[in-house]
Amino acid sequence: AANAELIKLFAKKLGVPRSAIAIVSGETSRTKQMRVAGVTAEKIRNLLD
């Protein structure tokens, strides 16, 4: 449930569909690695700062 909410939050913030975001590692951990399709790393950094 928490992972789904995290994906929903990032999708809204980044302006991408939820299907463009995947948790690559850390499904059960507080520390996660995510893959976002269709968005540059620079755009992600700018939006999250």
Spell out the domain ranges in the chain.
2-48
Q: With contact defined as beta carbons under 8 Å apart, do 2 and 24 qualify? A: no
Q: With contact defined as beta carbons under 8 Å apart, do 13 and 24 qualify? A: no
Per-residue pLDDT tens digits for 9-25? 999 999 999 999 999 99
What pLDDT, on the 0 to 100 scale, is given for residue 28?
95
47: which 2 tokens? Answer: 């939006």
Q: Report CA 47 to chain centroid distance, whole Å.
A: 12
Q: What is the value of pTM for the model shown?
A: 0.83
pLDDT band at 29 (very low <50, low <70, confident <90, very high): very high
What pLDDT, on the 0 to 100 scale, is given for residue 37?
96
